[in-house]
Structure 1
């Protein structure tokens, strides 16, 4: 996808070449200074960011070979395929640049290993057997990246050695031939009922194609919906596995809920077009392919780019980062089927310094959190609004205020209705330059890059009248680098 802002070019840090033997000689490029310690101001301590340079859209999430793999757009002037791996979705290793396009700004020794002038957004899947052999020449299990090679079309790249080396598919492009950057952003899923791969791409809205081998594609249908980076997935409604609905989203987080039969997506007639994250910095969210997670894990896990072309917060050495991974759900809320987003449960494994409060009544001027000093934490507060005298309550995190207006029923000026018991539950994930807010079991989601004052670690829970605190749970979050 294109950069919609005028961005000043930064100097690329020295290039370190690692040459390995794996069947043949190849070069894997790590264009970073190994002395980078991830302690720069605003650098997320438990949010992924590349060691250096620019990142944006998430372009391929898969689990394979005992690791989670993430391809993402990297490079300010020319988009490449950056690459990272993790064993737990928490501790990520920046593996450098995997997909190097033909117009790369890396030195000439960096082998241009994929098609197209630039690597624009896409997705990834895992295949083996005959499907793998047609692409890679071997039946060995492989990761297949499907991306837009600008000035070429929809292209494939592959790795069958756990991401150590990446290769161009010899017969690119496989679809959507183009001399420009449109259409773009192919999302590929396996559709079991129709026994085919389905590709959704940003083309006059969203266009669907079908294939049995990831190589030969046929037109299925077109839908007048969406702008860039589609994702398509199936979720149980209200946790009922016998009642699943399809969700189609675009880069902005706008989404439709309805049915998909392997050819056409039909939106539910009673369903509005909604947005899954109401913050200023959510873009190009992508999920791990359905059924791809280990140990029969049925969750649908999403990671997004934590920006919306908003100019950043003054990061140096690197620019931009990813959201914290969330588990998606679908819940009936205010007469609509709404996508829910909640931080993955694995975050509990990096908690420390837990503190809890129960059944407290506070008034103006009382701060239960006055003794807490932290810059990285996960805080959940549940408030009973029955018989409250306050007009608002909220949090002050260093130089940032997060307020709930009780009369207007808005959190951060966005609508949030109390639940059936007239309660509001707000959860904050706070990092050095990242704020994510979730409320009422994920029906509210808000992502924002924010320049928290590096010299402050204070926290306040405030109200302008009496409110009843049902519970508070504070967990400091450990550094993952």
Structure 2
């Protein structure tokens, strides 16, 4: 297995903090939240993010910065865009202005342009407002200059934020499109621009589906269905907090059309602010866990791939998580695609695999009947990729025990009685730091040919579960004791079979 590095550039063995991730990005120290400005340029992926340069709690919002050539090994860079006495630098996006439409660069050296939300402080003439501003870089994202004409788009609103900008080239013309939100109105607002400086209103979308909290961090992109260029849909991402499917923060998605002016959803279940909470499971959710939020995608990725990253935390308890001088990490990057299953178009997610390539050792079990009860495994892991396939048969349930110790464990269980996959972290270790943290997450997962396939990425303070090749995912934080690394499989009743189990880790 390849040697993995952290943001600080150290090998996992050199890390003293038992919760510091081995293969998820986190800043070396201080607070981190929403991914921002995701863009690929000249062989390098740029991850900007909400960051407090001065402490492990939310505040002094600036853009942190990390770079990678493979989306797995990240180098932390200096703070990219810093707050000042007039504004905090809230979430946004970055684009490669290849044709220098903004005029910030030249034809020979076109700029990277960041479009971010200025959250104006009491010291500013625009105190209390949120408006959209620009900064540009002429050295591939290493240094940034704020545009003197900021803000470039001001609706005189206190909650107008999180612009995602992309280049549109379609029937309506060729121009930049901004997708932002009026957060408390649960409304997506769209604008267009020829030069990134002057913006014209296009349309609005929403409220729709989940509206139990503010809308944040939208994204809009087109994907083909199973690679068919004649069959495509536009995907609108809207993150919401609170009001997520598992409680607190979450991301939802809509499928529809975009004609360069308006997004029209084909997957809206309920409209308006009085949505029926009993229909929450009918909505499109990016993830069914409690710790995948503010997910947005990279601009400019080669070959038209759509790769997303989310913040691996939840606003219910983000300020209370029991880490050291750092707080929060990013999810694994995920390539997202559309696929058709039983006539329904669904989002499929596949993580960029930190264990890909030559692998040393590992543990494998082949096909066998499962005895009722718990079967301990002769392998331990706090950091691993686990591939698991069950044929539950007539058993009431099957599952996996992870991070087990003297008085703690995490359960991943499939119940055949209701077809639900559940992740139970109520006894997973350090759960008492916030009343909302002990929880059970669940998602409906139909068996395929009588089988359940799981790919699980286990890191020092998290677990990401991909079911049925990424048709459903559950992402949760888990703060287990360092010594709690035991694993087991179980079956409730007779007739269940293990098809295969593979564990790669250290």
Into which bin does the TM-score normalised by the smaller protein fall? 0.7 to 0.9
| 1:197-231 alpha-carbon deviations (Å, 9 max, x no partner) | 11010124001001121111100001114711101
Q: 2:223 is matched with which residue: 231, 235, 245?
A: 235
- 1:266 aligned to 2:274? no
How many corresponding residue pairs? 426
**Regions of 4+ moved over 6 Å:** 32-36
Q: Which runs of 5+ in 1 are unaligned?
A: 1-31, 104-115
Match of 2:378, SS state, is coil
Instruction: Give 1:309's aligned residue.
Output: 315
1:304-343 matches, within 5 Å, as 304-312=310-318, 313-333=321-341, 336-343=344-351
Match of 1:341, SS state, is strand
- 1:60 aligned to 2:37? yes
Greater CA drift, 144-153 or 334-343: 334-343
- 1:70 aligned to 2:47? yes
Cα distance in 2 between the residues matched to 1:269 and 1:355: 42
Q: 2:481 is matched with which residue: 435, 453, 457?
A: 453
Q: 1:364 is matched with which residue: 372, 375, 380?
A: 372
Instruction: Judge conservation of contact 1:393–1:403 (CA < 8 Å) in 2.
Output: yes
- 1:157 aligned to 2:185? no
Greater CA drift, 122-131 or 250-259: 122-131
Cα distance in 2 between the residues matched to 1:33 and 1:238: 38
Instruction: Give 1:106's aligned residue.
Output: none
Instruction: Judge conservation of contact 1:58–1:73 (CA < 8 Å) in 2.
Output: yes
Cα distance in 1 between the residues matched to 2:359 and 2:194: 45
Instruction: Give 2:73's aligned residue.
Output: 91
Instruction: Judge conservation of contact 2:91–2:116 (CA < 8 Å) in 1.
Output: yes
Instruction: Judge conservation of contact 1:197–1:213 (CA < 8 Å) in 2.
Output: yes
Give the 3 Å change call, closer, same or farther, for CA 156–139 of structure 1 in structure 2. farther
Instruction: Give 2:291's aligned residue.
Output: 281
1:178-257 matches, within 5 Å, as 178=156, 181-193=158-170, 194-203=173-182, 204=185, 205-225=187-207, 227-251=215-239, 252-257=250-255
Instruction: Judge conservation of contact 1:331–1:339 (CA < 8 Å) in 2.
Output: yes
Instruction: Judge conservation of contact 1:276–1:340 (CA < 8 Å) in 2.
Output: no
- 1:172 aligned to 2:150? yes
| 1:426-477 alpha-carbon deviations (Å, 9 max, x no partner) | 1111000011111011111111111022122211112223311222222216
TM-score (norm 2): 0.79
- Deviation of 1:351 (Å): 4.7
TM-score (norm 1): 0.83
Instruction: Judge conservation of contact 1:143–1:159 (CA < 8 Å) in 2.
Output: yes
Give the 3 Å change call, closer, same or farther, for CA 410–280 of structure 1 in structure 2. same
Greater CA drift, 223-232 or 431-440: 223-232
Cα distance in 2 between the residues matched to 1:170 and 1:451: 45
| 1:402-438 alpha-carbon deviations (Å, 9 max, x no partner) | 1111111111152333334121111111000011111
Match of 1:130, SS state, is coil
Instruction: Give 2:96's aligned residue.
Output: 126
Instruction: Give 2:499's aligned residue.
Output: 470
- Deviation of 1:170 (Å): 2.1
Cα distance in 2 between the residues matched to 1:473 and 1:34: 27
Give the 3 Å change call, closer, same or farther, for CA 330–57 of structure 1 in structure 2. same
Cα distance in 2 between the residues matched to 1:35 and 1:379: 21
Cα distance in 1 between the residues matched to 2:344 and 2:21: 34
Instruction: Judge conservation of contact 1:384–1:422 (CA < 8 Å) in 2.
Output: yes
- Deviation of 1:318 (Å): 0.2
Instruction: Judge conservation of contact 2:104–2:110 (CA < 8 Å) in 1.
Output: no
Instruction: Give 2:243's aligned residue.
Output: none
| 1:238-269 alpha-carbon deviations (Å, 9 max, x no partner) | 33232110010112311110100100011116
Cα distance in 2 between the residues matched to 1:231 and 1:270: 17
Give the 3 Å change call, closer, same or farther, for CA 39–125 of structure 1 in structure 2. farther
Cα distance in 2 between the residues matched to 1:34 and 1:91: 11
Q: 1:81 is matched with which residue: 63, 66, 79?
A: 63
Instruction: Judge conservation of contact 2:254–2:267 (CA < 8 Å) in 1.
Output: no
Cα distance in 2 between the residues matched to 1:426 and 1:473: 11
Cα distance in 2 between the residues matched to 1:125 and 1:403: 42
Match of 1:461, SS state, is strand
Instruction: Give 2:460's aligned residue.
Output: 432
Indicate the RMSD between aligned Cα atoms, in angstroms. Answer: 2.5
